[in-house]
Amino acid sequence: MEMHQIRYFLAVCDHGSFTRAAQFSYISQPSLTQSIKKLEDELGGELFTRDRSGCLLTSLGRLIEPNFRKIYKETVATKADAIRFTQLNNIPLRIGLMATIGSQRLSPVFAYYRQEFPNIEFELIIDSEAALLQRLESDLLDLVISAPVQLLGSPYQSTLLYNERYVVAFNNKHRFNQLGKIDLKDIQSEPYLDRLNCELRENLRSLCQDQEVILYAAYRSNSEEWIVNLVRSGLGVALVPEYSLPANANDVCWRYLYNPEISRQIYAIYYPHSQKRAEMKTLLASLSAA
């Protein structure tokens, strides 16, 4: 089995016919057909059925398609990394950041690291923790930064980067600006901006039940940016991790949540073999020291 056979197979899947796949792949249709036939012989069965409307995957074709897509995607990514390294002498570091991780604390670390090591390229991917771990497992990421509710075991390795407290965020004209401290019961009288991506959302719900507090969610959003801008507009208050808020913003104020205090731990998650790379080891040290 050769890579061009996988590429031609995926082209037929994507374009629905041998003719269009051949045009897309810039080869003759007989050559593409012959490559697919050799692939079928090697795998022991037909991959497509053909009718007037085009080509459909057989059961065998549907079985192998996900693996072939994964192989092709990883091959393209590896080739791109190799070209960047050999031709540009740059080393790519692919970092996944959970959607609720704010940039305020980490972006200066990346900026300093880039100045010290100008041959390092950063690729920052923002997504859910589950999606990022899948990419890490597929070797599409070198490192994931997240706030796991439960610490992950083998085969992952985790390094604690920092602790982050939750704060009450509000508009600078809000009455909370006159208070020195705010507890959970103070919030229940205000329109509440619910962060749907919050990994501690269920914990917060339990705390509210224990303290007999009801938070009325005037707005809900899975976007941290939208929550901050709703706070800025004076539409309500929100409980957010302290480094999610923009630094030196005059129209957004905050206080640490006093009763109860809520915090989370931010970890770097990676495979043990990644730590052997000099650039990864240095980056982990820089992130931990921030």
Token pair listed for 2:
């050769």
* Dist. CA 157–CA 200, nearest whole Å: 22
Q: What is the pLDDT of residue 205?
A: 86
pLDDT at residue 25, rounded to an integer: 83
pLDDT tens for each residue of 116-140: 777 788 889 998 888 898 888 888 8
Stretch 80-88: mean pLDDT: 62
Can you give the pLDDT at residue 96?
93
**Which pLDDT belongs to residue 81?**
67
Q: Give residue 83's pLDDT.
A: 61
155 falls in which pLDDT band (50, 70, 90)? confident
- Between 89 and 147, name the one with better pLDDT: 147
Q: How many CA atoms lie within 13 A of 4 on its CB side?
A: 11
Q: At 89, is the pLDDT very low, low, confident or very high (cuts 50, 70, 90)? A: low
E-only strand ranges, the chain: 48-51, 54-57, 91-98, 120-127, 143-146, 157-171, 192-195, 217-221, 238-241, 252-256, 263-270
For residue 143, the model assigns a pLDDT of 92
Mean pLDDT of all residues in 180-199: 90
pLDDT average, residue stretch 209-231 = 90
Contacts 24+ apart (CB under 8 A), 28-32: 32/8
- Where does the pLDDT of residue 273 fall: very low under 50, low under 70, confident under 90, or very high at 90 and above? confident
Q: Which of 14-18, 79-83, 134-138, 253-257 has the highest mean pLDDT?
A: 253-257
Q: For Cα atoms 222, 101, 73, give the angle at the middle one, nearest 5 degrees.
A: 85
CA 195, 269, 246, 191: dihedral to nearest 10 degrees?
10
Verdict on whether the full-model pTM lies above 0.75: no
Sequence-separated (6 or more) residues with CB below 8 Å from residue 127:
96, 98, 99, 135
Q: How would you class 208 by CB atoms within 10 Å of its CB: exposed for 0-12, middle for 13-18, buried for 19 or more?
A: middle
For residue 158, name the pLDDT band (cuts at 50, 70, 90).
Answer: very high
Per-residue pLDDT band for 232 (boundaries 50, 70, 90) equals very high
The tens digit of pLDDT for each residue in 28-77 reads: 989 999 999 999 999 999 999 887 777 889 999 899 899 998 888 888 77
**Domains in the chain, start-ordered, CATH in brackets?**
3-76 (1.10.10.10), 85-162+265-289 (3.40.190.10), 163-264 (3.40.190.10)
